[in-house]
């Protein structure tokens, strides 16, 4: 298999990759955590998250129209900051954010699968099943782009259709009316930082649109279709998230959602559909998480392979056959497995949100400061994206300082190692 295949991914395939990552993690893994931070207002967190992600996506669409590339985020950073430490560190931050997302989805797969057997969510089988999923996704990825596109499209249709059926059925069973949207009753008072934390996680639920940019050089007519795919993916996911959020809120109390936060959709299916609803929901979750892992591994391996080709990150073959792209698939898979085994869902999601927001601020600042005129981006759209990211990140960090400072420490150590590790590597390469 060659490193890149031009025109090997259609517009439909690109949308499938984007929705695959977003729906795989967003609604199954994060809904319970968002509800825990925002109470009965949690469906509206997805609306606000979609708006904030829309402002961010504007810059990516402008960049993709000007510089379509299979390096995606890496290429955008290089165009903004030049081929150096800032671009390489930012790209690696994005790559780790995507790998973290893979472990988030993998553990979600384990949590939902065990609901069929009434096994505790603390069981050792959660990481074991997650590791099995990651290995399976790796095997599909080494099979080539055509296999990936066909499998992603098929699973996207199954999961979007299945989730929609679940959500509409649950809304109908609960006697939903539009008055329920207006009359939200929040029994508890939450500090503003908690709502900002919920927004940070909801943004993480949408960040999968960046997967599309990392396959830009392989998408048919990328100057137009990358942007179209991003817009379509965000629109589809927003509708799906809202349907599910309102259906869950009508079938479970907030305390019930929080108790079952790692598998809240499965729990919400019981009042409306009984055990058959549970089986159906778990089946859809399994399909969604499988497609999410496949799409994410596909995208991050492309980006890191490009960074390696450009001599921006170190690379060792370790005696493995094949090209750099295949080697990066192996490295990405191994890191995702380690995270799946040693981190729980809450901490994985927190790390992913911090990494992504920091990286996105860097992307937007690069556009604003260096290439805004070149790509014809609107100043106020980009500035708004930066301000929103900073506000949400600040609120989220404040929550973690008081509730789980370990996450902040791990994030700071990781970012420091990435930055200074890259600085050392690039200096060493220049000397050679």
- Tens digits of per-residue pLDDT, 26-66? 677 778 888 888 888 888 889 999 999 999 999 988 988 88
Tens digits of residue pLDDT in 381-396 = 999 999 999 999 999 9
Which residue shows structure tokens 């934390």?
Answer: 197
Least confident of 12-16, 169-173, 327-331: 169-173
The Cα 394–Cα 405 span in angstroms is 14
Half-sphere exposure of 46 (CA within 13 A, CB side): 27
pLDDT in the model for residue 402: 84
pTM of the predicted protein model: 0.83
| Average pLDDT estimate for 192-219 | 82
Phi, psi of 31 (to 5 degrees): -55, -45
End-to-end, the C-alpha distance of the chain in Å comes to: 31
The answer to whether the beta carbons of residues 214 and 71 sit under 8 Å apart is yes
Beta carbons of 333 and 134 less than 8 angstroms apart: yes
- From residue 175, give the alpha-carbon distance in Å to each of 187, 250, 266, 319: 21, 9, 19, 61
Question: What percent of the chain is modeled with pLDDT above 70?
Answer: 86
Average pLDDT of the segment spanning 317-344: 79
The predicted pLDDT at position 232 comes to 92
Radius of gyration of the chain (CA): 20
**Predicted confidence band of residue 90 (pLDDT cuts 50, 70, 90):** confident
Quickly count: other Cβ atoms within 10 Å of residue 165's Cβ.
Answer: 13
Nearest to 334 by CA among 75, 110, 72, 137: 137
């Amino acid at each position: 298999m060659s490193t890149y295949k031009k025109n090997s991914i259609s517009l439909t395939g690109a949308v499938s990759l984007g929705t695959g990552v977003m729906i795989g993690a967003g609604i199954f893994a994060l809904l319970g955590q968002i509800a825990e931070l925002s109470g009965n207002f949690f469906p509206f967190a997805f609306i606000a998250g979609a708006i904030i992600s829309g402002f961010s996506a504007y810059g990516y669409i402008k960049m993709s129209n000007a510089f379509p590339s299979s390096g995606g985020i890496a290429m955008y950073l290089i165009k903004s900051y030049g081929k150096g430490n800032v671009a390489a560190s930012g790209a690696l931050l994005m790559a780790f954010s995507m790998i973290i997302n893979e472990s988030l989805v993998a553990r979600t797969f384990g949590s939902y699968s065990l609901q069929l057997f009434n096994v505790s969510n603390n069981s050792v089988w959660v990481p074991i099943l997650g590791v099995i999923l990651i290995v399976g996704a790796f095997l599909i990825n080494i099979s080539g782009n055509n296999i990936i596109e066909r499998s992603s499209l098929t699973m996207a249709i199954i999961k979007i259709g299945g989730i929609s059926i679940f959500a509409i059925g649950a809304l109908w069973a609960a006697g939903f009316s539009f008055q329920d949207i207006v009359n939200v009753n929040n029994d508890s008072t939450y500090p503003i930082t908690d709502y900002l934390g919920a927004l940070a996680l909801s943004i993480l639920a949408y960040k999968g649109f960046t997967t599309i940019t990392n396959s830009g050089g392989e998408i048919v007519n990328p100057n137009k279709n990358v942007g179209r795919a991003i817009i379509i993916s965000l629109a589809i996911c927003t509708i799906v998230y809202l349907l599910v959020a309102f259906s869950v809120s009508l079938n479970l109390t907030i305390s019930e959602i929080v108790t079952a936060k790692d598998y809240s959709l499965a729990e919400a299916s019981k009042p409306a559909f009984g055990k058959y609803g549970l089986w159906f929901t778990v089946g859809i979750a399994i399909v969604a998480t499988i497609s999410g892992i496949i799409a994410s591994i596909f995208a991050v391996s492309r980006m890191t392979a490009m960074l390696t080709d450009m001599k921006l990150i170190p690379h060792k073959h370790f005696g493995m056959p094949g090209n750099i792209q295949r080697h990066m698939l192996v490295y990405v898979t191994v890191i995702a497995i380690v995270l799946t085994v040693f981190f729980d869902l809450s901490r994985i999601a927190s790390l992913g949100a911090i990494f992504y927001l920091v990286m996105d601020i860097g992307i937007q600042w690069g556009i604003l400061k260096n290439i805004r005129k070149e790509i014809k981006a609107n100043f106020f759209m980009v500035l708004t994206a930066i301000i929103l990211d900073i506000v949400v990140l600040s609120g989220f960090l404040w929550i973690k300082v008081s509730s789980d400072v370990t996450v902040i420490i791990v994030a700071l150590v990781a970012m420091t190692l990435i930055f200074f590790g890259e600085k050392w590597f690039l200096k060493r390469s220049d000397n050679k």
